[in-house]
Structures are given as structure tokens and as C-alpha cells.
Amino acid sequence: MDYIHLRDMQFYGYHGVLPEETVLGQRFRVTISLALNTRKAGETDDLQYTVNYVEVYELCKSIMEGEPFQLIEALAEAIASAILEKYEGQVFGCKVELVKPDPPIPGHYKEVAVEIVRGHYSE
């Protein structure tokens, strides 16, 4: 199994349950890992035999900057589902990590994050 990783993509969105999250918005970071077979792409140096990570970025961006979700779990699920649907037969599975670096909750912590794995993915 081979992997393509898009690490720490940054977006601004209005996702969340708290009123200030949906009005003021906040930063989000997303890391996506795709499980696929890249052998033919590596042997031929031809983009048609792999996943174009520019397209994956744009797909993720459209979801992250689109309609608001209350839960980051639902947001991560939407991203994973869209990837697996668009690249059915090519991507076996994916992992999505979605991070809220500055959620409006009191306390001392680095960040809040959710990580989901869908399809056939194992590292």
C-alpha cells in the first residue's frame, strides 16, 4: 500500500456549535492521507496513474470553506466521503485529521482535533 499525504492545509471557516464560531469564524488545519497504489505512476511518470493532489486540495477547500457544520466530526466525515466517492476504485481508504487550533473554550491546551479513518487504510 502506498500513501499520498496532504499535510497541514489551512482554511478559515465558520464551523462550530458556539455562536461566536459561526459569526466570527476560525482557523482550521487539515491533514489528509490517501491509501492507493502508486506503482504505475512511479514507473511511467504519468499523472493519469495516480491521484492529483491539487484536485484533493480543491475538494477539501470547497468543503472547509463551504456550508458550516456544527461538529468537526461531521466535517471530517464529509471530506472523507467526498474523496472516496470521487476516487472510487483508485483510493482504497483515507485518513482525515481536522484541527481547531483556537476553539473558544477556556483552559490551557494546544488544540482540539478529530481523526477518522475510512475505507481500507492501515499504516
Residues with catalytic roles: 100
Spatial neighbors of 51 by CB under 8 A, at least 6 apart, are 4, 34, 36, 87, 90, 91
Cα 24 from Cα 51, distance rounded (Å):
35
Cα 76 from Cα 79, distance rounded (Å):
5
Spatial neighbors of 84 by CB under 8 A, at least 6 apart, are 91, 93, 94, 118, 119
Cα 39 from Cα 34, distance rounded (Å):
14
